[in-house]
Structure 1
Amino acid sequence: MPRTLLPFALIAAAIALPVVTGNTYYHHLLVLWMLFSLLALSLNIIVGYIGELSFGHAAFFGIGAYVAAIMGMDLGVPGVLGLVLAGLIAGLFGFVIGYVSLRIVGPQFAILTLGFGSIIHTITNYWVDLTRGPMGISNIPRLAFGDVYVFTSAREYYYLALAFVIAFAYACHALMASRTGRAFIATRENAPLAASLGVDVFRMKLLGFVVATAVAGVGGAVYAHYMTVITPDVMSLHYMAALIIMVIVGGRGTIAGPIIGALIYVGLLELLRAVGPLRLVIFAALLTLSVIFLPGGIVSLWRRVFGDPETTAAAPGEGVGR
């Protein structure tokens, strides 16, 4: 099959998956795969394209989820408008945090984002009047397009999340082929050299950070409407660690990598359900082995076998957050 047709074949297969499985629980797993893929792709903008390591990305996912829930339940904001507002508010938080912290590079930036995530998680836990604290928000209304259509089944949410993933993956592809994308890569690889060539390094980093956080907010909003219940746990380090595993194991700086990483994570999460907390040890071992033996992620295996340069056009060199 020609490589130009491969993305279309994969999209067709993804569209057919719910029909092939026919099982409601499998449809639920497919929804989780697509939502995690969207989140991993958004984190990949920060980790893979601008070369910074963020430990606070799950907080923006949680912000989007809580905005959608509160807007829908307390203010009666329609579902689609709630998705837009969730993305905008998460992006606004991203702008503020990025504007303050992106002038700092290396481990200090990662620590600052970790602190932000912890603060948001704590506020969500204790601002009971707004977020209902540790009990979370339940009975969140299903996502609806006005009075025309209401998403009710897992299959419908899967196709919605799939549409978001396809749209954002294409946007990432177009970005990397543009002048802005090349500025991202130059910033990641050698910021001082990029600055000497006229690239506004801080502006590029801030742009990537805001886009990534806004997309995470939209993903959180879809998650809230799908699950109909959210708790502060959606902002926990568990989710943050999961997103990092997806990006690193799948292949940072690529488009297919985070989607593959999300599939591996959701699959292992289900297969290892019987071992309980031991799953975290297995995931940590998977991340360690990937960093040591496959620093380019799973997608690098395709590259080794088929020598496809397109999968690595934006892949970073050694190290993260240089």
Structure 2
Amino acid sequence: MMARFLPILAVAAALVLPLATSNTYFHHLLVLWMLYSLLALSLNIIVGYIGELSFGHAAFFGIGAYTAAILGMNFGFPGFPGLLMAGIVAGAFGFVIGYVALRIEGPQFVILTLGFGSIIFTTTNYWVDLTRGPMGISNIAPLGVGAGFELSSALDYYYLSLLLVVAFAYACHALMLSRTGRAFIAVRENAQLAASLGVDVFRTKLLAFVVATAVAGVAGAIFAHYLTVITPEVMSLNYMVAILIMVIVGGRGTIAGPILGALIYVGLLELLRATGALRMVIFAALLTVSVIFLPGGLVSLWRRFADRSTVRTARQAQVEAGE
């Protein structure tokens, strides 16, 4: 019974959390948590729901960021329509890449997505006329809502990002209860068996891939407007590994897992800031430990606790019935 109210309690806690302090840096960390949660949830569609391992997801995050920045600065494209365009452009790239890559299975798919990410990263670095190369794009305008109103503070971006995370998390929940969601899981568990039951495996995978990349593009667009500066670094392998850590350590194939993983990542990123490059070694160790000892992620700990509580309750009921 309590599990039904947990999402509501979690959302309520997230709403009042930034009000506990006026520390702007704490608010900044909360914005990063929400944006990374949205990004991790999008990758979870690919890794957790259709069972494919993509190493190019950070590229779609970067495509969304650069799309919003370029449309806003070069063409005066307004804020929220710019977010929509960022999602459309990233999703279009996802469609093209997915149409080619998803016909291939196993390690070849991973290598192909890694190659795509490297190509986008390299292109962004050297297409100076469009992306300004390694210097990146700076002085990006804050996100405009309309009627001259702009999101100017970290709190504004936090609540916008929270709204998108809650909406997408609910969409994922509804998806898993739908026929399409069941097709995702069937493809993940046994693609050949799913095909024999009438599921179009390729079309199902492509749909998941396009949705995931479009959402990653929207997250990247908000990221660009929030920081007001964007560089090719957001498409690097470091970012890709970080997103994978969020999904796997939190719990792939779940909704709470990627959000929890993003929280762990942002918290450790801040705590380990003084360690410099050693942070990635620590993150890699965390990923290794999680894969070996907690293959279901941190969310599986709650499931174990809930299962044990259920067993204890059932035994107690049996004892009382026997008396």
TM-score by length of 2: 0.94
Partner of 1:75: 75
Q: Which has the higher helix share?
A: 2
CA separation in 2, counterparts of 1:277 and 1:147?
44
1:146-185 superposed matches below 5 A: 146-185=146-185
Q: Secondary structure at the match of 1:74?
A: helix
CA–CA separation in structure 1 for the residues paired with 2:297 and 2:21: 28
CA deviations on 1:74-103 (whole Å, 9 max, x unpaired) are: 000000010000000000000000001101
Query: What residue number does 2:25 align with?
Result: 25
Mapped partners of 2:275, 2:229: distance in 1: 25
Separation in structure 1 between the aligned mates of residue 112 and residue 237 of structure 2, nearest angstrom: 14
Corresponding residue for residue 3 of structure 2: 3
Read off the aligned partner of 1:290 and give its amino acid letter: S
1:199 is aligned to 2:231 = no
Q: How does 1:109-148 map to 2 (within 5 A)?
A: 109-148=109-148
1:4 Cα shift? 1.4
CA distance in 1, matches of 2:223, 2:82: 12
Partner of 1:250: 250
| Cα distance between partner residues in 1 of 2:306 and 2:22 | 34
Return the letter of the residue paired with 1:82: G
Letter of the 2:287 counterpart: L
For 1:121-176, what per-residue CA distance to the aligned partner results, in whole angstroms no more than 9, with x for missing partners?
Answer: 00000000000000000000000112242100001100000000000000000000
Structure 2: how far apart are the matches of 1:228 and 1:170? Answer: 29
The aligned amino acid for 2:26 is Y
Q: Counterpart of 1:264?
A: 264
Name the structure 1 match of 2:319. none
Deviations 1:20-69 (A, max 9, x none): 13210000000000000000000000000000000000000000000000
- The answer on 1:52 being equivalent to 2:52 is yes
Aligned-partner Cα distance in 1 for 2:306–2:24: 36
Q: What's the % identity of the aligned pairs? A: 77
Separation in 1, partners of 2:8, 2:148: 30
After TM superposition, the runs of 4+ consecutive aligned structure 1 residues lying more than 6 A away are none
Once the two structures are TM-superposed, the CA of residue 105 in structure 1 deviates from its matched residue by 0.7
Residue 147 of structure 2 aligns to a residue whose secondary structure is coil
Deviation at 1:9, TM superposition (A): 0.7
Letter in 1 for 2:289: L
1: CA distance between counterparts of 2:21 and 2:111? 42
- Aligned CA RMSD, in angstroms, stands at 1.1
Q: Give the match for residue 304 of structure 1.
A: 304
Deviations 1:219-239 (A, max 9, x none): 000000000000000000000
1:316 matched to which residue of 2? Answer: none
Counterpart check, 1:228 vs 2:237: no
Count matched residues: 309
Unmatched runs of 5 consecutive residues or more in structure 2: 309-323
Larger Rg: 2
Distance 1:146 1:35 in 2: 22
SS at match of 1:266: helix
Instruction: Tell me the distance in 2 between the aligned counterparts of 1:57 and 1:51.
Output: 14
| Structure-2 separation of matches of 1:44 and 1:162 | 18
Please report how far the alpha carbon of residue 5 of structure 1 lies from its aligned counterpart in structure 2 after TM superposition.
1.3
Quote the Cα distance in structure 1 between the aligned partners of 2:14 and 2:293: 29
